[in-house]
Structures are given as C-alpha cells and as structure tokens.
A and B are shown apart, each in its own frame.
Chain A
C-alpha cells in the first residue's frame, strides 16, 4: 500500500528565503508523485508531478521538486518565497491505480 508523510504541518519563512516542504512516500511499485497547492477558499491545483521522465521536476510559480529514490523523498523547494506563496501544500502518490493518496498537508506562512 502506498502512503505519504509530510513532515511539519506548519512552515514559516521570511519573504525572499528558501522554501523547503518535505514529503516522503512509501510505495511497492515505482510511484507517480504530485504536489498540489490549496489557497484559502479555493480548490486544490496541481503544482507539479513526477512520472519517471526526470528526477528534477519544475512546476508553476517557481517551485520544483526532486525525486530521490534512495531516500524515498519528493521534497518541494522554491529559492525565494513570495507573500503570495502562503497556502496549504499537499504531497500525493499514485501507484498506477486511478486514485491519489494525499498527505496531511503543510501550511506555509510567509512573513514580510
């Protein structure tokens, strides 16, 4: 069975600082991995996805994530945080079935 663990339910950074949101997965087969973002009062939207084409995946709004099989990790990073990045971020895994298994989410706060 697949699962996702997001370390840190809350992360706070200053504007301009590095953003690092952690995600570790468990999967018995090569996984498909995703990061979704949820802004207040909005639906989840896809930031980026890993589907085995390249280990470093670039997404929207300057975010990227690196798939590390040896560490079973798929951490999300952004070099310089912006106030508009404040949101809840969800990591998700799929094992070739049609459903996504989501983590519990990390709320990102950005301070001026």
Chain B
C-alpha cells in the first residue's frame, strides 16, 4: 500500500558518527512531522513541514539535529555527531492538512541505536 515509508528500519551508529534518516510521505500529503520516541515514552515532537517550508522546529533537541524537505515530498532528518542519548525510534508522519483536522499517518519508524 501507499503508506508512509521510513528507511532504514534499523540503524546502529557509533558515538560521534553522522546519520541520515529518510521519510517518504504519502503522495499529496502537505504536512510532514518528525517525532522522537524514547523507550517507554510517547512520541515527542521534533519538527514540522508544510510542503517545503519548515514551520516549526522547536522540538529539535540541539543544533546537531537538522531536517529538510527540499521539494516538499521526501524528508531527511540528519543527526550529526550522534550521542548515546539520541538512541530512540524516530517516527515520521504525514497528513493532507493540519494535524488536528486531518489524521496523521505514521511510518513504522527508524530505530537508532548509538553505541
């Protein structure tokens, strides 16, 4: 089916390495969100795009985190100089409109483990 696709499904990185996580939203979805889900916790908002514009990046935990969506479709979340506290599942979600009006469709996530 044409759901939200995230890759890789699992990523192991050594501390200090850079990683890039990819999200392919549902075709035609305007809004795209990134969430971070630590073990045993609920998803925490990282950043939000409407088409190619990054409208809210208030949840990015540090300047090591960077997200882009250059053509308003595929998005990449980049983490530089990974730290152990970055270990989590990174969820991408897309919706047709604004999140409270249109349901969010989530991908299965990328599980990042920093060793």
Contacts and interface: CB of A to CB of B under 8 A. Distances in A.
B4 A94 contact: no
A93 B34 CA distance: 16
A46 interface: yes
A99 B108 contact: no
A63 interface: no
Given A41-B108, A98-B48, A99-B33, A32 B43 contact: no
A99 B42 contact: no
B62 interface: no
B99 A99 contact: yes
Interface residues of A, number: 26
Nearest to A104: B42
A45 B106 contact: yes
A43 B107 contact: yes
B109 A98 contact: no
Given A98-B31, A100-B104, A44 B43 contact: yes
B44 interface: yes
B45 interface: yes
A70 interface: no
Contact of B99 (A6, A42, A98): A98
B104 to A, nearest CB: 7
A92 B100 CA distance: 10
Contacts of A97: 56
A2 to B, nearest CB: 11
A43 B33 contact: no
A96 B100 CA distance: 7
A105 B98 CA distance: 23
Contacts of B48: 98-99
Given A94-B99, A96-B100, A105 B41 contact: yes
Interface of B: 3-4, 31, 33, 35, 40-45, 48, 50, 55-56, 59, 91, 93, 98-101, 103-109
Q: Which 6 A-B pairs have the closest CB atoms?
A: A102-B42, A43-B106, A32-B100, A44-B106, A46-B103, A99-B45
10 contacts: A43-B91, A45-B105, A49-B100, A92-B42, A96-B100, A98-B56, A99-B48, A99-B59, A100-B100, A103-B42
